């Protein structure tokens, strides 16, 4: 996938960091057909992970049931302004992407 397939931002407010990420991905289930009636092969994000300050914040296991270009938002505590948050995904075809954002 393209290197700019993840847009991420992280903002600290009152000791809680809010991470918002938009991932560009087709998220095909493998059950949909094209205009010729042929099945479109499955192509979806299987795992999303996020870390900050050397600790794993989350790992999500997804399937084809997640919409195209998924949006993810979550909150966590214990970070500081200037820390880096890194979000990565891997799909069922072995493709992957990652992006980092500095906490503001």
Domains in the chain: ranges and CATH: 6-30+39-102 (2.60.40.10)
Alpha-carbon span 91 to 18, nearest angstrom: 25
Contact between residue 9 and residue 72 where contact means Cβ atoms under 8 Å apart: no
pTM across the whole model: 0.90
For the residues 47-62, what does the mean pLDDT come to?
Answer: 97
Q: Above 70 in pLDDT, residue 4?
A: yes
Place of tokens 């880096």: 84
Instruction: Using alpha carbons, select from 90, 57, 91 the residue that is nearest to residue 74.
Output: 57
pLDDT band at 1 (very low <50, low <70, confident <90, very high): low
Quick one: how far is CA 63 from the chain centroid?
13
Residue 61 has what pLDDT?
Answer: 98
CA–CA separation, 39 and 74 (whole Å)? 34
pLDDT single digits (tens) 22-38: 999 999 999 999 999 99
Return mean pLDDT, the chain.
95
């Amino acid at each position: 996938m393209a290197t700019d397939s993840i847009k991420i931002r992280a903002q600290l407010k009152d000791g809680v960091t809010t991470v918002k990420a938009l991932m560009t991905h087709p998220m095909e289930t493998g059950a949909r057909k094209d205009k010729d009636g042929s099945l479109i092969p499955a192509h979806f994000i299987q795992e999303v992970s996020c870390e900050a300050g050397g600790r794993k914040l989350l790992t999500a296991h997804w399937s084809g049931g997640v919409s195209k270009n998924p949006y993810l938002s979550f909150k966590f505590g214990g970070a500081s302004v200037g820390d880096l948050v890194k979000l990565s995904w891997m799909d069922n075809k072995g493709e992957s992407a990652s992006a980092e954002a500095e906490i503001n």
